[in-house]
Amino acid sequence: MPHDASAKPVRLTRKVSFSAGHRYWLSSKTEAENRKLFGQWASPFNHGHNYVLAVTVEGTVEPSSGMVVNIKIIDDLLKRHVLSKFDQKSLNDEVPEFIDQAPSLENLLLDIKRRITESKELTDSVKLVHLRLDEMPTLYAELDLTKEPMLTITRSYEFAASHRLHSPDLSPEENIRLYGKCNNPAGHGHNYLVDVTVSAPVNAETGMSVDIACLDTVVNEQVVDRYDHKNLSEDLPEFKGRVASSEIVAQEIFNRLKENVPGKLCRVRLTETARNIFEVNAD
């Protein structure tokens, strides 16, 4: 069969993990300076994370192999240029790049991107397009090399709430036909997960793009404390006369946060169940 020259590029994502310790404490600063700079994160002692790195490359499928790139090439590249440098290491003490700069998620991600691109081990037909580094299940950074802003931070939050899918514009029969059991007059509940993605320039001293403590305060005040253990359809004025669907809830969360979060709000992702996920993007 002849090669289809018009075939669309395909993306491949490979995940690896490594364990490392780090601290937000610069040896060039005094104790007072460190505590002022890093606030609640400041400590002269290490803490550790089980990091998860997702590397995404893009290219056309090579006809003879049926692959964009051999996964073994990606694994070998990451093993030699990332894992061997970071895994089971104290980043501040054993990685030269972080002796004088904070090993924040942002700085780590930018350093990993540099290591991969400078290795020049990807062929001309395969390019690095996206990186994601998870520090914790509730905190990760992404570097999207195909758009601006490239670097974002995502923080995850939870709240439990109930709602009823019911439209005042429809008859009782139409509501039942449209929403089924979700039209139950007593409502039903979910353990919602909210991922809030923001972007801002990286501070040269802290290595952080946004103040996570400030972000937590805003999201808790505007969303979590407001919605947790509430009946969204009955208790909250913003949903009066509206269908409190997760689409509308996600839009409302985005609108409540967009002028209040530190940096630029890029995305709100609302997970209602493992099978139902809703997303609102700034662009």
Boundaries of every domain in the chain? 1-146, 153-283
* Local confidence band at 283 (pLDDT 50, 70, 90 cut-offs): confident
* Active-site choice (174, 229, 234, 238): 229
Q: How far is CA 254 from CA 67, 158, 238, 261, in A?
A: 39, 15, 13, 10
Query: Is 214 a residue of the active site?
Result: no
Residue 5: the pLDDT is 54
Active site residue 272: yes
pLDDT mean across residues, the chain: 95
Tokens representing 124 are: 């001309």
**Quick check: helix, strand or coil at residue 102?**
coil
List the structure tokens of 110. Answer: 């930018």
Q: 167 and 178 in contact (C-beta within 8 Å)?
A: yes
Does the active-site annotation cover 135? no
| Number of DSSP helices (H) and strands (E) in the chain, helices first | 10, 10
- For residue 182, give the nearest of 55, 276, 74, 259 by alpha carbon: 276
pTM: 0.92
CATH of domain 1-146: 3.30.479.10
Q: Which pLDDT score, from 0 to 100, does residue 6 have?
A: 63
Catalytic residue among 106, 142, 252, 272: 272
Output the pLDDT for position 123. 83
- Do β-strands 47-59 and 230-231 pair in parallel, antiparallel, or remain unpaired? unpaired
pLDDT tens per residue, range 177-202: 999 999 999 999 999 999 999 999 99
Contact 183, 176 (CB under 8 A): yes
CA distances from 139 to 97, 132, 182, 198 (A): 22, 11, 32, 12
CATH classification code of 153-283:
3.30.479.10
Is the CA virtual torsion 272, 278, 280, 283 positive or negative? positive
- Percentage of the residues of the chain whose pLDDT score is greater than 70: 98
| Closest-CA residue to 42 (of 208, 235, 173) | 208
With pLDDT > 90 as the criterion, what percentage of the chain qualifies? Answer: 93
User: Residue-wise over 126-164: b if at least 16 C-beta within 10 A, else e?
Assistant: beebbbbbbbeeeebbbbbeeeebbbbbbbbbebebbbb
**Is the distance from CB of 157 to CB of 198 less than 8 angstroms?**
no
The Cα 8–Cα 24 span in angstroms is 44
Domain 1-146 matches domain 153-283 at the CATH topology level: yes
Catalytic residue among 81, 121, 182, 279: 182
Confidence band, pLDDT 50/70/90 cuts, at residue 124: confident
Find the mean pLDDT for residues 54-60.
Answer: 97
